[in-house]
Structure 1
């Protein structure tokens, strides 16, 4: 503060909106706070930025501490800075959205943070402006999922086309025509047939695919047109 002696103290926080998919529903990873303010209420996972830390590094640290995962899909969404958004102290929050594979995260770390996976439609009332943050993130997820193949970030390493269809139906909350979706998906060239069949669950005997990671990374920002036809009318 020596160069800016008249500047007010403002804290910078990071709030992480963490989406997962359990095969049926899109879920949020939320924590029940064990500290004030708003102790005992539900919130997003977050923390304050360290003095020598970039915002992206801070988000990666918070996500790793909660999930035990590194190198996951995460992007900076928006900044929330209303003067009285946090009753504890003047705080500006930078919001990040992350997509993780539920079956790959550290469940012990989640429990240790008093966190739980909760379906989007069943989420409790959240503290501060966290509900507004989630609403913005959901709209951004829908937009991104229509144009880019980010849905793969929520699936296990090997998956069936019906599983991927269930994911997109969960994102948009609408039914999707199976044949049309399958045709669009296979035409992208992003899938590699593993030669194996799924022996479990509702998609029993369906072909198991894996993602062609090289094509995925090289063409991530291409326009893939995953938007369901029914949403274009």
Structure 2
């Protein structure tokens, strides 16, 4: 659900470059540790997962400025390793269409990739006892962690006072816009996404959590339940357990 929309030239290199380095290290490890049998098993679903993520992350929800990424769902269905590769490809494609800059693809991959790994690991640990509850807990925790990472990254540059819940301050946003022209305007837009329109402070945060996380969790649960009814072998094989 979390995705940084900051264009190129705003985030300094000492913030986005480590994101790329860590992303490529993880990708290298995934390629080295994956075997051909694993790849062949989930490859048909990988393209479908990428297409669903592209659609979900391209269209913001009407009522709140967030996207449905379906990253946790992807991690559960095809495994966290292949899902992380999907996240990188999708983030790069979105950057080409102006959904965030190319320089922050690494950071976006890490943020959304955290949903993949955390969601898949928690699902594997909790879904054995109860599929629905395990999926809910895995999705909610993964989304909260990724949102915290996104706020942390933006706060590192823009200042945590600007992105943490607080009452609306139009004068502060005007100063941001005037201070750096286009750079300030882009930062103000990103901060506005976090401090949702007229709903600012803790009300905006609650809206995002209840509506955004709740909706993505519901979609993930429904699709996982459907897959477990028609293709239980897919989930059981990926996570190596039987429910």
TM-score by length of 1: 0.33
- More helix per residue: 2
- The higher-RCO structure (CA 8 Å, 6+ apart) is 2
Give the greater-gyration-radius structure (CA): 1
